[in-house]
Amino acid sequence: MDIAAMQHSSHCALLRGVPHPRHTICWNTKTRHGKRLRCSTVTLCSGQVLLEVKDLEAKVAETGNTILRGVNLTIREGETHAIMGTNGSGKSTLSKCLVGHPDYEITGGTVTYKGENLLDMEPEERARAGIFMSFQSPVEIPGVSNSDFLRLAANARRKQRGEPELEPLEFYGFVMPKLAALKMNPDFLNRDVNANFSGGEKKRNEILQLSVLEADVAVLDEIDSGLDIDALRDVADAVNGLKRPDSATLMVTHYKRLLNYVVPEAVHIMEAGRIIYSGGLEVADILEKDGYEGIKTLIKKEAAAGKEPVAA
């Protein structure tokens, strides 16, 4: 790692009162990180901004219930972020809004992805542009084989990037190494999409899709739920293995154990549709120890000390 970058990063952390993140990855020293400090929740010294969420508000389309009440989040190349929060705080809604889920309606704010207005794009356009969300409980599609599904998806993305589409045999060559890297049985390809998959198999299948789509921003919604320790480690290894210097990961989780394996630079706490606090991995420790009350106490303490709350 570039020494200058390391200095930058610790400098940033000091300035903001955030302890040095354990694994700050600073691939791109060209970033003008200094002036970003005040406007974004957490600014780490890495690459270009990939995704920028500003004052995002959203409601459930059917009932009109407002879920998101002004979310701000900036994710740069090479970064890993985690969002934690109580049930119903809007974590999953945020993930779904990012991929354009039809159940939710955006009522305010902006989302910029690689400089473009993400909210103007159809769900399939977002996916082809490189945004990926793993579903909490992926739907079963009996009758459609996993290999056909993956090939359709891969070709949609390849077409977008101007790459040639893959024929079934070529696709086999393309996907086999990916399966091997994820320690998955090739048998997966012949089975129907998620049909009769165990919880763990479904999660692995989501990661396989992430791998095949070679996404730039991976939004992993509770990828750890329902996994035993070994499966969790496998899935986490796979996620780590798929990270690239120019990609980013956003994890939604309830538990710190995932963060022990996929270590984030930033942890955000959501409540009532907003990010109320952001920090490094130590935030997750406080959460683990004292629960959400602990975070609230921390916010009060910091406010008393005159520190600006992190989130807008």
Partner 1 sequence: MQFVMRIIWGAPQLQRSHRYSRAQRRSNQQQTVLTVLSAEGLNGPPKQGQTELAEDGWISRTLAAFRTSGADIQSVPAPMEEMRVDCLAALRTQRMPTTRNEEYRFTDIAPILQLEPQVAASATVLPGEAIAALVEASPLKEAVARVVVIDGAVASQLSDTERLPQEVFVGSLREAPALPAAQQLGKQARLRGSPFALVNGATAQDVLCIAVPEGVTVESPIHVLYITSGASSVTAPRLLCTLGADACAEVIEEFVGPAKGAEAHFCNAVAEFDLADRAQLLHGYVALEGRRALHMKGTLVRQAAESSYKLTEARLGGRLTRQDINIEQAGEATQTEMGSFLLCGDEQLHDLHSKLRLEHPRGTANQLHKCIVAAGRGRGVFDGAVKVEQKAQKTDAGQLSRNLLLVPRATVNVKPNLQIVADDVKCTHGCAVSDLEESQLFYFRARGVDAAMARKVLVYSFGAEVTGEFAYPELRARIQAAVDRTLANVPILEEPAAEAA
Q: Round to whole Å and give the CA distance between 158 and 166.
A: 9
Asked if 215 contacts 247 with a C-beta cutoff of 8 angstroms, the reply is yes
The nearest distance, CB 197 to partner 1, in angstroms, is 13
Nearer to partner 1, 2 or 124 (CB): 124
What is the closest distance, in whole angstroms, from the C-beta atom of residue 62 to partner 1 in the complex? Answer: 12
**What ranges make up the beta strands (E) of the chain?**
49-60, 66-76, 80-85, 104-113, 116-117, 131-134, 141-145, 192-193, 217-221, 248-252, 266-271, 274-279
Nearest distance, CB of residue 239 and partner 1, angstroms: 18
- 207: nearest Cα among 231, 239, 252, 234: 239
Window 150-209: residues binding partner 1 (CB under 8 A): 152-153, 156-157, 160, 192-193, 195, 209
Q: Nearer Cβ to partner 1, position 48 or 137?
A: 137
Amino acid in the structure at residue 133: M
Site for partner 1 (CB under 8 A): which residue of 3, 139, 229, 304?
A: 139
Q: Which is nearer to partner 1, 164 or 306 (CB)?
A: 164
Q: List residues bridging with 69 in a β-sheet.
A: 57
**Nearest to 255, CA basis, from 296, 297, 225:** 225
Q: Which stretch binds partner 1 (CB under 8 A): 10-18, 43-51, 83-91, 147-155?
A: 147-155
DSSP string, 85-127: E-TTSSHHHHHHHHHT-TTEEEEEEEEEETTEEGGGS-HHHHH
- The answer to whether residues 260 and 232 touch, using CB atoms and an 8 Å cutoff, is no
Pick between residue 70 and residue 123 the one whose CB is nearest to partner 1. Answer: 123
CA pair distance 75, 47, nearest whole angstrom: 9
Shortest Cβ 201–partner 1 spacing (Å): 16
Token pair, residue 141, equals 């599609």
Distance CA 284, CA 288 (A): 6
How far, rounded to the nearest angstrom, does the alpha carbon of residue 245 sit from its chain's CA centroid? 15
Nearer to partner 1, 120 or 122 (CB): 122
Show the site string, 283-312: x = touches partner 1 by CB under 8 A, - = not: ------------------------------
Q: How many residues bind partner 1 (CB under 8 A)?
A: 29
Instruction: Compose the 57-96 pattern: x for residues touching partner 1 by CB under 8 A, - for all others.
Output: ----------------------------------------
The residue from 142, 164, 168, 306 that contacts partner 1 (CB under 8 A) is 142
Give the per-residue contact string, 91-130, with partner 1 (x = CB under 8 A; - = no): --------xxxx-------------------xxx--xx--
In the chain, the amino acid numbered 292 is: Y
Report whether 29 contacts 8 (CB < 8 A): yes
Q: Which is nearer to partner 1, 65 or 137 (CB)?
A: 137
- State the nearest-atom distance from the C-beta of 42 to partner 1, in Å: 27
Using CB under 8 A as the binding rule, the residues of this chain from 207 to 266 that contact partner 1 are: 209, 213
Nearer to partner 1 among residue 219 and residue 311 (C-beta): 219
Q: Which stretches of the chain bind partner 1, using CB under 8 A?
A: 99-102, 122-124, 127-128, 133, 135, 138-139, 141-144, 148-149, 152-153, 156-157, 160, 192-193, 195, 209, 213
